[in-house]
Amino acid sequence: KAGVTQTPRYLIKTRGQQVTLSCSPISGHRSVSWYQQTPGQGLQFLFEYFSETQRNKGNFPGRFSGRQFSNSRSEMNVSTLELGDSALYLCASRTSVHFGGNTGELFFGEGSRLTVL
């Protein structure tokens, strides 16, 4: 079974631009979560999507948005990029509570490393 796939792996943008990151979850996983990882703040929760609906949201400004498609693939978008948005963006998928054997375990992708200049 293929793991969580994130694209692109690396990207460089300049301030004021926008960026879209993509995540394909493990087949059968309907929940996709996004995290921002920085050296000073660790992993900060951005949002979680389940069945195309945002189920949970972290404390990030409105410049950070996301969506999920009917095939469970998810995208996140950051508009008007700032230097402080430079980070590793991690996507993780997990099974639904409605599936037997759900342990709450997150399965992570390798991340998309964004550098804002």
Binding site for other proteins (CB under 8 A): 3-4, 31, 33, 35, 40-45, 48, 55-56, 58, 90, 92, 94-98, 102-106, 108-110
Which DSSP helix (H) or strand (E) runs through 31?
A: strand 31-38
Least spacing, CB of residue 12 vs other proteins, in Å:
18
Q: Which is nearer to other proteins, 31 or 81 (CB)?
A: 31
* Strand-pair category, 31-38 with 87-94: antiparallel
Residue placing its CB nearer to other proteins in the complex, 29 or 81: 29
- Smallest distance from other proteins to CB 1, Å: 14
Q: What is the smallest separation between the CB atom of 61 and other proteins, expressed in angstroms?
A: 18
Residue closer to other proteins (CB basis): 20 or 58:
58
Q: Which is nearer to other proteins, 24 or 94 (CB)?
A: 94
CB 59, CB 52: distance < 8 Å? no
Rg of the chain on CA atoms, in Å: 14
Min separation Cβ 16 and other proteins, Å = 29
3-state SS string for 39-67: CCCEEEEEEEEECCEEEEECCCCCCEEEE
Q: How far apart are CA 90 and CA 53, in angstroms?
A: 19
